[in-house]
Amino acid sequence: MKLRLAEIQKERAITPQPPVVRGGALIVPIGLLRKRLGQPAPQPAPDADRAEVERLAMQAVMAAEEALGRDPRDVSAQRGIGYDIESRQRTTGELFFVEVKGRADGAGDVTLTRTEVLCALNEPEKFRLAVVVVEPGGKVHPPVYVRRFDFGQPGFAQTSSSYSRSALLADGGEPS
């Protein structure tokens, strides 16, 4: 107790010193930097282009599912179920849930809704995230299937999560 009282007494004698600056940072918004350098601001892809990328991606994944001996069914029109394709194995009747993300070549992150992440967490062995890269002109790369990826637990008010496309592609593999 005597030691603690002595420590408290020393703490009462502490006096603040002027701060010592050890470094600094200048944060410049990317839009301002591009404007000063004379670079054009990136334009989002028109909705028609996005729709075409998604359509081509769905076709590629449907073909991959059929090649795996499954009967795929497009359920993307049903909102809130957490996947785009319900695929039944012909021999066993086992269901697989495939979420398709078509990305234009050079596009950045892949965003999943809360429902899609929850579907992945609820059915980790049966859920597949299919990432399909589409080049300008409609050249479609083979789908990359991401399985058992740690998407994390969505927060209470979180409606979506974004993941690095390159990390997902590196973690993924051939359709399975």
Predicted local distance difference test score (pLDDT) of residue 165: 87
Domain extent listing, the chain? 47-171
pLDDT confidence of residue 46: 65
- Name 84's Cβ contacts closer than 8 Å, sequence gap at least 6: 58, 61, 74, 75, 76, 98, 99, 100
CB 117 within 8 A of CB 97: no
What pLDDT was estimated at residue 34? 86
At 142 the three-state DSSP class reads coil
Q: Which pLDDT score is estimated for 68?
A: 95
User: Which sign, positive or negative, has the C-alpha torsion 94, 64, 170, 118?
Assistant: negative
CATH 3.40.1350 fits 47-171, yes or no: yes
Residue 72 to residue 88: CA distance in whole angstroms = 6
d(CA 48, CA 134): 14
Tokens at 104, concatenated: 């234009």
Burial class (CB in 10 A: 0-12, 13-18, 19+), 38: exposed
- Mean pLDDT of successive 10-residue segments in the chain (176 residues)? 92 86 89 86 67 92 95 92 94 95 85 92 94 89 92 87 88 89
Other Cβ atoms within 10 Å of 74 Cβ, number: 13
pTM above 0.85, yes or no: no
**What is residue 129's predicted lDDT score, i.e. its pLDDT?**
95
Please tell me the predicted confidence (pLDDT) of residue 44.
61
The answer to whether 75 touches 83, Cβ cutoff 8 Å, is: yes
Q: Shortest CA distance to 63 belongs to which of 141, 167, 158?
A: 141
Q: What is the DSSP letter of 168?
A: H
Given this model, what pLDDT does residue 17 score? 84
